Amino acid sequence: MNGNKYLLDTNIVLYIIGGKIEPSDIPKGKYSISFITELELLGYSGLSFEESRIIEEYLSSAVIFDINQQIKQKTILLRRKHKIKLPDAIICATAIWSGARLVTTDKALKSIESVIVL
């Protein structure tokens, strides 16, 4: 596993965009997100025009991983083993598949391999 590759969970992206955490608060390296994070960010029903614009600007420069067969298989295994929600399992599986560590504030995910909980 490459120590300088990180997949950002949806909550981390929201905190960065919202100014609740500084990018310097997360480990230095190459960042990516899962397509699930893209869907969660843009799918919120209460999103204002300005918030949508900020999110779309952020996403335009982000590396976004789509689902593939390996991610599907790892998702299934993670759900069976850890009994986590499907979006969380997909995001964790994407991190593992991509060789990245997941950066999140979700303490429920701390028992999963390659997860950094801030």
Domains of the chain, first to last: 5-117 (3.40.50.1010)
Q: Which of 58, 66, 61, 76 is nearest to 98 (CA)?
A: 66
Q: Which of 13, 52, 43, 19 is nearest to 31 (CA)?
A: 13
Q: How far apart are CA 14 and CA 4, in angstroms?
A: 21
Q: How confident is the model at residue 62 (pLDDT cuts 50, 70, 90)?
A: very high
The whole-model pTM stands at 0.90
Using one digit for the tens of pLDDT, what is the confidence trace for 68-82? 999 999 999 999 999
